[in-house]
């Protein structure tokens, strides 16, 4: 096989979406697997819609995902080769200049370049779809340039692929119908035909084409939400592809090792957000505690600035285990924080006195149990307090004897002020002995005042 050369040729007419990322990933996997060269080619032939801002976003997003390339080109800078190719076609009588009314400005005459279509049947073999045949007669003499200086996409892509020696064109199936046109131009210019592989597109959960209207498709939005690049890349990779090992969680290098174009599915895969969240959670769970903490602490601090709580780095660090268990993606931290789920770890809650006793028990009884717990916790050495099991060990026998709910409900509620929260031992171990005792005593005070 000739040395493999593949390309990522996005049109910079919008932000990098997951489809662009997939196109780049599949080409990357194939290119790397075969020790080939990878070309990034910004196809900015559509002057009206192309923007440098979009190109920058595509470069940035693919880089963030961990993809890389060997060479970078911009179509607008390759115009000389396009012009030469057009001249060559015209000189050889394979294309001609035609004076026509402008499509864009009716009434105005323009000179477009049309390919002289020999009108034959084109058959090409597609690695994923098998043999595909088109009758090109009905395409007529189609336009390949708006003028000699303004080539259209079909001409540019064929000349670029031909000049760069692209061996494999791996792209979405929306380009299948473009292929016969491109082969006609290719043959007229005498370029070798690359190997084609057209893969099906991602579908949204209603099985329609994934689109901006149907939710987030821009990579930068997933990034802002706090998905991990490796998780997003892995998810994009295995959607519509079954690696021979059957594994789903794979690093980029492992995907390269397992990749074969032939194993891409023939039908579209659903881009399922829940599955993506699951993937991300798997990656978060695999993360070392130190790495998790470094990233989660900043997110938590930022999320809590609006909550008017007393930030404590020490408490936040102790909270990390709990955070690690509860989040699938970084934005979950913002959401939980926004719902006040972390407030009581930092600032004393304002428990409602009516809710303090367990249902159907008297305030005096709740106060009595809390008094007993204060005694027990008081005697527990500070050093033991950081381990929830130690706290549990001293309180549990008493709770068993008096009725778990009767003791543990007022205890937990006095610590968190919330009907739902983690168990009281975990909360106490995070907020520490002094804070725990202060809150329990405050709750006893409330209950006593209620009695008077």
Binding interface with ligand GLU (CB under 6 A): 9-11, 43, 157, 171, 175
Checking 204-209 for CB contacts under 8 A at 24+ apart, the result is 204/270, 204/271, 205/270, 205/271, 205/272, 205/273, 207/268, 207/270
Cβ-contact 26, 60 below 8 angstroms: no
Smallest gap from Cβ 174 to ligand GLU, in A, equals 7
Tokens of 291: 């790495």
Percent composition of the chain: helix, strand, coil (DSSP 3-state, to 5): 55, 15, 30
DSSP 3-state of 37: strand
CA-nearest of 86, 81, 87 to 163 is: 81
Q: Which is nearer to ligand GLU, 19 or 229 (CB)?
A: 19
Smallest gap from Cβ 20 to ligand GLU, in A, equals 7
First to last CA, the chain: 91
Q: Which is nearer to ligand GLU, 10 or 349 (CB)?
A: 10
Q: Which is nearer to ligand GLU, 10 or 351 (CB)?
A: 10
Q: Which is nearer to ligand GLU, 9 or 180 (CB)?
A: 9
Smallest gap from Cβ 122 to ligand GLU, in A, equals 16
Smallest gap from Cβ 331 to ligand GLU, in A, equals 29
Smallest gap from Cβ 157 to ligand GLU, in A, equals 5
Catalytic hit among 87, 108, 212, 286: 212
Cβ-contact 319, 279 below 8 angstroms: no
- Angle at 112 (CA atoms; ends 55, 72), nearest 5 degrees: 25
Q: Which is nearer to ligand GLU, 148 or 176 (CB)?
A: 176
318 a catalytic residue: no
Query: Distance between CA 346 and CA 426 in Å, rounded?
Result: 14
**Catalytic positions, written as ranges:** 212
């Amino acid at each position: 096989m000739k040395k493999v050369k593949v390309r990522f040729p996005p049109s910079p007419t919008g932000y990098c979406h997951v489809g662009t990322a997939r196109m780049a990933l599949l080409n990357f996997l194939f290119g790397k697997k075969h020790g080939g060269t990878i070309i990034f080619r910004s196809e900015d032939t559509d002057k009206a819609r192309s923007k440098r801002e979009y190109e920058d976003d595509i470069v940035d997003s693919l880089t963030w995902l961990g993809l890389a390339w060997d060479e970078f080109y911009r179509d607008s800078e390759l115009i000389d080769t396009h012009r030469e190719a057009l001249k060559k076609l015209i000189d050889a009588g394979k294309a001609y200049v035609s004076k026509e009314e402008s499509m864009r400005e009716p009434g105005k005459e323009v000179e477009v370049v049309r390919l002289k279509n020999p009108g034959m049947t084109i058959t090409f073999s597609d690695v994923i779809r098998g043999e595909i045949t088109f009758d090109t007669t009905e395409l007529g003499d189609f336009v390949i340039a708006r003028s000699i200086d303004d080539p259209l996409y079909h001409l540019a892509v064929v000349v670029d692929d031909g000049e760069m020696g692209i061996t494999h064109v791996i792209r979405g199936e929306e380009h299948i119908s473009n292929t016969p046109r491109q082969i006609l131009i290719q043959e007229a210019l005498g370029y070798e035909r690359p190997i084609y592989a057209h893969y099906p597109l991602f579908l949204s959960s209603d099985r329609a084409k994934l689109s901006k209207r149907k939710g987030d498709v821009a990579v930068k939005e997933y990034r802002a939400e706090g998905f991990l690049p490796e998780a997003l890349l892995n998810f994009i990779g295995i959607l519509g592809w079954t690696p021979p090992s059957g594994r789903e969680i794979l690093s980029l290098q492992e995907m390269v090792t397992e990749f074969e174009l032939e194993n891409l599915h023939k039908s579209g895969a659903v881009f399922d957000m829940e599955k993506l969240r699951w993937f991300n959670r798997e990656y978060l769970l695999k993360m070392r505690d130190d790495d998790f903490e470094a990233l989660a602490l900043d997110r938590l601090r930022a999320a809590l600035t609006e909550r008017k709580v007393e930030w404590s780095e020490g408490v936040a660090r102790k909270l990390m285990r709990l955070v690690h268990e509860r989040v699938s993606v970084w934005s979950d931290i913002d959401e939980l924080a926004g719902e006040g789920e972390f407030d009581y770890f930092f600032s004393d809650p304002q428990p409602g006195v009516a809710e303090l006793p367990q249902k159907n028990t008297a305030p005096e009884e709740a106060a009595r149990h809390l008094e007993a717990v204060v005694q027990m916790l008081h005697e527990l050495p500070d050093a033991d307090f950081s381990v929830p099991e130690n706290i549990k060990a001293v309180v549990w026998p008493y709770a068993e004897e008096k009725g778990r709910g009767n003791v543990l409900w007022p205890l937990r509620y006095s610590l968190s002020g919330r009907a739902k929260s983690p168990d009281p031992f975990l909360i106490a171990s995070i907020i520490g002995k002094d804070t725990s005792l202060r809150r329990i005593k405050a709750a006893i005070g409330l209950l006593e005042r209620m009695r008077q």
